[in-house]
Amino acid sequence: MKLQSKLAMILIPLVALPLLAVGWLAYVQLQDTSEGKTRVEMDTKLSQLSRQLETIRQTALANLELFSEAALLTQYLQTGDDLERYSLVQPPLLRLFASYQRAYPQYQEIRVLLPDGYEDARMAVPGVPNRTEEENQTPFFISLAAGQEKVHSAFLENPDTGKISLYASKQIELVDWVKESVTAPPRLRGYLSLTVDLSTVEKQLAANRIGQSGALFAVDPSGTILFHPDPGRIGSTLSGPLLAQLTPLARQQGFATLGLEGGPCLVGGRMLDEELLLFAMLPHAELLGASHRLGLNIALITLAAVLVTFGLHLSGIRALLVRPIQKLGKAAQEIGKGNLELSIDISTRDEIGQLAATFQEMSRNLAESHQRIQFLAYHDPLTGLPNRRMFQELLNYSLAHARRAGHQMALLFLDLDNFKRVNDTLGHHAGDRLLEELATRLSGCLRKEDTLALDSESDCRQTVARLGGDEFTILLPNLKNPFAAASVAKRVLEALSPPFCIDSHEVFTSASIGITIFPGDGEDAATLVKHADIAMYHAKQQGKNNYQYYAASMNAAALERLNLENQLRRALSRGELQLYYQPLVDAATLNTVSAEALMRWRHPELGMISPAQFIPIAEESGLIVAMGAWAVKEACRQLRHWQHLGLRPVPVAVNLSSLQFRHQKIDELVATTLQETGLDPSLLQVELTESAIMQAEEPSVQMLVNLKELGVGIAIDDFGTGYSSLSYLRRFPIDTLKIDRSFIKDILQDADDATITRAIISMAHSLELTVTAEGVETEGQLEFLRDNGCDKIQGYLVSAPVPAAEFVRFMQSPRGENHSAAREASF
Ligand SMILES: Nc1nc2c(ncn2[C@@H]2O[C@H](COP(=O)(O)O[C@H]3[C@@H](O)[C@H](n4cnc5c(=O)[nH]c(N)nc54)O[C@@H]3COP(=O)(O)O)[C@@H](O)[C@H]2O)c(=O)[nH]1
């Protein structure tokens, strides 16, 4: 349900219910008031009427008493002779009656009725005919004769006038002095009767209506209507049940709602001496008309209020509440759709205004966060250069552009030379600084025309991207000819040649760059990147610090390398790996004092593969961890085996990769292997390259300490190729330094190599380290080394690495037993 409808559902009852409640109270109150007022009015008018009628009746009865005392009347009734009575007594009597009528003109008739009902004397006001003289059958006389009362009154229709009149009569009882004894009881001689005209009462009834449609009316005890404002109703008779309800009402002077005249009416009643029932009635239609009108008015007001509320709701509330909320809803939808540049047109100071301001701020913050996220998603956080994702998009875009325009395009893939060494020697922080500085130099050495003409300025600024680590790419769109890429590559190499100043160190670095040209070297992005990578790898192999264009033959080499990696994965489980052993001899005595275990891969189809070829692949793929563990176990197993054969035991050194230190618990591996094989720990040595030991972190150092504590010897391999200082090496529990064979090779020709070698021997001794010279191939080299105090010799001069069986033969030969004697024989 819409908010608007919900508000209407709340507001309409809020407006309508109080109005209806107030209206209902007013309605009930008005009903009570108007009924109360009507009752008072009815009561007043009924009292007046009954008093009036009672007065008329009492006056009539009193006058009857008075008139009956008249001597003429007595004489008249005692005059038995009709002639005498009519001729002599009646005229004066009638004149007397006439005089009464002048005093009481409402007495239409003053009559003398004989006990048998004969109307014997009658004085009537003019205009009142005398329809009958025999009264004995009239209702009045019947009721008069039936009653025992001396006086009698009744409201009846006068048969002479057809109008309701008050009949009042008095029995006249006399003793006939002439015919009867004095003591005889008086006898009924006749009745003196008054017929009282009630037209004044009728007029009053007609004038005194109750409300507009109500009336005062009177009925006799039998239910015949005697008085009624509607003359047509006079003489009609009420129904029995209605009379049964009305009679007690009149008797108790009460009020009730009864069904009269076709509808409910409020009726009030009075009884006049059991003779006359007086009623006042007012139809409910009129009685409650006002309250009904009020109710109707209230209903109309309520309806109007509801309509006004609707109006307000539709205009005011809609403008104040619904529309702003709709705007907020729309704004929220827009924000949801990612449109964060919206402005919400609400400036009220209420909660909605505050909400709108919050929305606005939220969308601003979201926009900022969105921009930040966008930046982070597409840029390298360290250098601020486009990252791999953005590079992909830029490359695709520029490829599409180049295809459309028929341009050539170049992709330069750059990898820093020896970056790892900087990390290892100066730490990762320095490595990061170097990358930052490098990014600045790379960006700075691109010309403006090398940038892409992309849609937005900010997007086209950079065509240098960092893919990760020390790998960077440079896009060169609109290439005039493929050779132009070489000049950019040269500029880059030149830009890198000045030393980088990192944390007060001067760091020299260079890069290897691979170049691919679109469309010659690849039609799509993936191929171009792959070929640029291969070309870069080739540049590394060509001695680093140079650039190489991609050539199809390089691809073949890369494929071969991948193939080798896949096969190397299976080599260990297939038992294709093998350890060769190269003896190390005492420089002075030439006795074999130890050996180095060197891994070999006997490929089923390719034959023996050099470690120089597969060890780097094993390092890069991580396979070296498992292979290195195998080498430790195999060397220990072999040594133990030789011991069982009774061979003279010499310590064997196993090469460990820096990766093993990072991903393997070497100390635990060695301890377990020694325990499993039961080998004397002093017969095992481990060799780590100088660079591996330089990047050793605290856990690796601890592993070396643990190995040392086990009794295992530790040698630093290829010493002199890194940047380590001997004092730095004092941190590590090392026994031996092995001088890299690159120094030994030209030791007799190159004074620097000779000096360095001498210095290394001297400083190592000062640290009480044993020194081994690697790659000794000539007697001259041996001579030099021995003269300068080198402790041990390893090289082809003594023996190349050989399989285990051959090494046994070597050890059992005079050369192995005593090299000095053997040398005499073989060299
Ligand atoms: N992590 C491991 N690395 C290993 C393991 N086995 C070998 N290697 C490393 O592979 C690299 C190449 O080794 P290899 O081809 O065996 O070369 C060794 C010797 O054959 C060679 N050598 C010895 N004497 C001479 C010589 O007089 N002249 C000459 N030109 N070469 C000679 O030197 C290599 C031994 O060097 P080093 O290990 O530095 O003592 C090599 O780096 C091996 O370390 C392995 O199991 N794990």
Question: Amino acid letter at 458?
Answer: S
Tokens 């003594």 belong to residue: 798
Rounded CA gap, 537 and 534, in Å? 5
User: Which of 166, 185, 201 is the last residue in one of the domains?
Assistant: 201
Residue whose Cα lies nearest atom 33 of ligand 1: it is 775
Q: Which domain holds residue 170?
A: 68-201
Q: What is the mean pLDDT of residues 428-453?
A: 79
Query: Ligand 1, closest atom to CA 777?
Result: 27
Q: Which of 568, 576, 615, 693 to mutate for ligand 1's pocket (most ligand atoms within 8 Å of CB)?
A: 615
Higher pLDDT, 387 or 692: 387
> Distance from CA of residue 820 to its chain's centroid?
89
pLDDT digits (tens, 9 = 90+) for 741-799: 999 999 999 999 999 999 999 999 998 999 999 999 999 999 999 999 999 999 999 99
Q: Is 625 touching ligand 1 by the criterion CB < 6 Å?
A: no
Based on the fold, state whether residues 436 and 524 are members of the same structural domain: yes
Is 398 found in the same domain as 347? no
pLDDT of residue 817: 62
* Same domain? 359 vs 419: no
| Structural domain ending residue among the three candidates 152, 178, 201 | 201
On whether both 403 and 361 belong to a single domain, the answer is no
What is the average per-residue pLDDT within 300-320?
76
Q: How many angstroms does the Cα of residue 554 sit away from the middle of ligand 1?
A: 26
Mean pLDDT throughout 174-203? 83
Mean pLDDT over each residue of the chain, to the nearest integer: 86
Verify whether ligand 1 is closer than 6 Å to residue 583 (CB atom): no
Query: Counting atoms of ligand 1 from 1, which one is nearest the CA of 579?
Result: 46
Ligand 1 neighbour 610 (Cβ under 6 A):
yes
Q: Indicate whether 429 and 487 sit together in one domain.
A: yes
Residue 530 has pLDDT above 90, yes or no: yes
User: Does the interface ipTM go beyond 0.85?
Assistant: yes
| Whether 643 and 510 share a structural domain | no
pLDDT of residue 821: 40
Distance 541 CA to ligand 1 centre (A): 18
CATH number at residue 737: 3.20.20.450
Separation of alpha carbons 235 and 163, rounded Å: 10
121: CATH: 3.30.450.20
Residues 156 and 183: beta-carbon distance below 8 Å: no
Residue in the block written with tokens 């930046």: 375
Q: What is the mean pLDDT of the segment spanning 726-735? A: 82
The CA distance from 48 to 121, in Å, is: 35
Ligand 1 site, residue 616, Cβ cutoff 6 A = no
DSSP string, 103-159: H-TTEEEEEEE-TTSBEEEEEE-TT-----SB-TTSHHHHHHHH---SEEEEEEE-T
Between the CA of 622 and the centroid of ligand 1 the distance, in Å, is: 19
Q: Whose CA is nearest to atom 22 of ligand 1?
A: 775
At 425, is the secondary structure helix, strand, or coil?
Answer: helix
What is the tens place of the pLDDT at every residue in 539-581? Answer: 998 888 999 989 876 667 777 877 888 899 999 999 999 999 9
Judge whether 270 lies within some domain: no
Taking the C-alpha atoms of residue 573 and residue 622, their distance in angstroms, rounded to an integer, is 16
Query: Is there a single domain that holds both residue 26 and residue 80?
Result: no
Query: What's the pLDDT tens digit per position in 329-360?
Result: 888 887 777 777 777 888 787 888 888 888 78
The answer, yes or no, to whether residue 311 has pLDDT greater than 60, is: yes
- Measured between alpha carbons, how far is 330 from 339 in angstroms, rounded to an integer? 11
Q: How far apart are the CA of 784 and the centre of ligand 1, in A?
A: 22
Write the pLDDT tens digit of every residue in 476-491.
887 877 877 888 898 9
pLDDT at 692: 82
157 inside domain: yes
Ligand 1 centre and the CA of 804: distance in Å?
16
Q: What is the pLDDT of residue 179?
A: 72
- Helix extents (H) in 379-480: 388-405, 419-426, 428-444, 457-460
Residue (of 227, 221, 231, 287) closest to 258 by Cα position: 287
Query: Cα–Cα distance between 531 and 520 in angstroms, integer?
Result: 11
Do both 734 and 706 map to the same domain? Answer: yes
SS3 assignment, position 453: coil
The model's pLDDT over 282-305, given as tens digits with 9 standing for 90+, comes to 998 888 877 777 778 877 887 887
C-alpha 598 to ligand 1 mean position (Å): 6
Residue 275 lies in a domain: no
415 CA to centre of ligand 1 in angstroms: 26
Q: Whose CA is nearest to atom 7 of ligand 1?
A: 598
**Cβ contacts of 172 within 8 Å, gap of 6 or more:** 68, 73, 74, 77, 112, 188, 189, 190, 191, 192
Look at residue 522 in the predicted model and tell me its pLDDT. Answer: 92
* 128 inside domain: yes
Instruction: Evaluate if residue 149 carries a pLDDT over 70.
Output: yes
In this structure, the answer to whether residues 774 and 679 fall within a common structural domain is yes
Q: Quick one: average pLDDT of 680-691?
A: 93
Which ligand 1 atom is nearest residue 628's CA? Answer: 47
Better pLDDT: 697 or 379: 379
Task: Say if CB 458 and CB 423 are below 8 A apart.
Answer: no
Ligand 1 contact via 720 beta carbon (within 6 Å):
no
Least confident of 113-127, 367-381, 519-533, 642-656: 367-381
